[in-house]
Amino acid sequence: MLPLKIFIEFILITVVSSSFKPNELTGGDHCFCKLKGQIGDCSCNVDTVDYFNNIKIYPRLQSLINKDYFRFYKVNLKKECPFWSDDSRCAMKFCHVKPCKDEEIPPGLKGRILKHPYSNEEMYVKYLEESQHQDCDSDVIDELGYLNTTISAKAYEEFALWQAYDDAQDNFCTLPDDDGDAQYVDLSLNPERYTGYRGPSAHRIWRSIYMENCFRPKNTFDAYISTSKLNGLCLEKRVFYRVVSGLHASINIHLCSHYLFPETLSFDGKGEGGRWGRNLAEFKNRFGPETTKGEGPSWLRNLYFLYLLELRAIHKAAPYLSSIDYYTGREVEDKETLDAIIDILTIIRSFPEHFNESTMFNGGSQAQKLKEEFKQHFRNISRIMDCVGCEKCKLWGKLQVQGLGTALKILFSGKFDEKNGYPNTIEKMPYNGNGKEFKLERSEIVALFNALGRISTSIFEIENFRQMMR
């Protein structure tokens, strides 16, 4: 006679399995059956991306983002929601984020070292003893054309603020968290997975994003824009919706692939009070045509579209990204990180079918106005991330939105365009002294690669769900 626990487990698995009809798994209108062919708004197709990502990009990215430079992310999880008062908080222990202790942070990430933005030499501001005690008359000397070039530390800080303001004009999201409440988090110890955060608070986040910050066709009242109406939007507005939808689809896949099951179910992975694993029923519920009014396949297609857009951004910024030190103070690992970056940039460069951003925002003043609206809408979305009631969801939401915002910044700021003299080759970026070169903050680089890592993981997980269905 079977033990009671095994018998219950058998019954539960049978119930889960019986909720799928055979034609839903292997044919008919299931979400995967339509996930083939052209992705839309670019020249690539689904099968090509699957192979390129799962074989070449995914394993390299997983290795890269586990390096010290990329797994420590500075974030403020205490910011108040700027749009509404909401004290909804996830009570489950899986919602909480554990910040790093000081001794856990790599030495190179501690403190504040001023560096020239385009040089590896540290800028130590030195003062001559006499220059700090001179009176006004001491500036007059006999040599014709003398210029006092002494610059105070306060002036350097003001220059940095001016530069930060100029750079912020190109931002598609709010500035990286660097205030007193920001703390380093080890992303590897706080993985993105199902936490139990759902209900009105979570729905309000996505509803605000879709209803108030996406460009919408007339007479569209649902939060999600149907594919038939989406095709009526101009390219720029359609791209905006598709990247938001792709990000939403990716997050949903992460929750389905790292789902907390009751303790009685034997799926892969373990968690306290239950087991972590892939939830096929939840995946089907979120993407199946019968539960999404037929839109599930389009949402998955938008995920592939977002992947190509972020891939293109990294390809476009490759010369700059290959010139950074990736400094953490751990010399051997820093060199390994740079080698890994150059390797993955070379692989990305070998993929010819990226998203083509040059077709967007062309058309004079009206196009520039649309571009500014595009930017403002996305900045609002980055602010909405501070309204998320689950710490872990907020962490990964802020990181992925910042990563996508960084990708948009690279694509549409104009500072990486070849017409401006920026080379489309993987080599050191030349510094010509005019002060106009593009610079990314460390947190933007960390977010950029981690965001692509999340999208890459989603596409990899789609194949795992395919195998489960078979």
List, as residue ranges, the binding site for FAD.
193, 195, 206, 245, 248, 286
Compute CA distances 431 → 262, 410, 422, whole Å.
Answer: 57, 18, 11
CA distance 415 to 364: 18
Q: Which of 23, 25, 4, 5 is nearest to 467 (CA)?
A: 25
Q: What is the dihedral of CA 77, 79, 84, 87, to 10 degrees?
A: 50
For the four alpha carbons of 194, 199, 201 and 204, in that order, the dihedral sign comes to: positive
Q: Which of 186, 182, 304, 184 is nearest to 253 (CA)?
A: 304
Identify whether the C-beta of residue 75 lies closer than 8 Å to the C-beta of residue 398.
Answer: yes
Q: Which of 374, 381, 465, 462 is nearest to 411 (CA)?
A: 374
Q: Which helix (DSSP H) or strand (DSSP E) does residue 250 occupy? A: helix 235-257
CA distance 96 to 113: 31
For the four alpha carbons of 417, 231, 173 and 120, in that order, the dihedral sign comes to: negative
Question: Exactly one of 31, 44, 95, 390 is catalytic; which is it?
Answer: 390
For residue 85, the SS3 value is coil
Q: Assess whether 390 carries a catalytic annotation.
A: yes
Enter the tokens of residue 86. 């909401």
Residue 384 CB coordination number (10 Å): 22
Give the gyration radius of the chain's Cα atoms. 25
CA distance 241 to 214: 6
Burial class, 18, CB count within 10 angstroms (exposed 0-12 / middle 13-18 / buried 19+): exposed
Q: Assess whether 173 carries a catalytic annotation.
A: no
Annotated binding site: 193, 195, 206, 245, 248, 286
Report angle CA 270, 65, 347 to the nearest 5 degrees.
120
Question: Exactly one of 95, 256, 387, 393 is catalytic; which is it?
Answer: 393
For residue 373, the SS3 value is helix
Query: Measured in whole angstroms, how far is the alpha carbon of residue 140 from the centre of its chain?
Result: 55
Catalytic residues: 390, 393
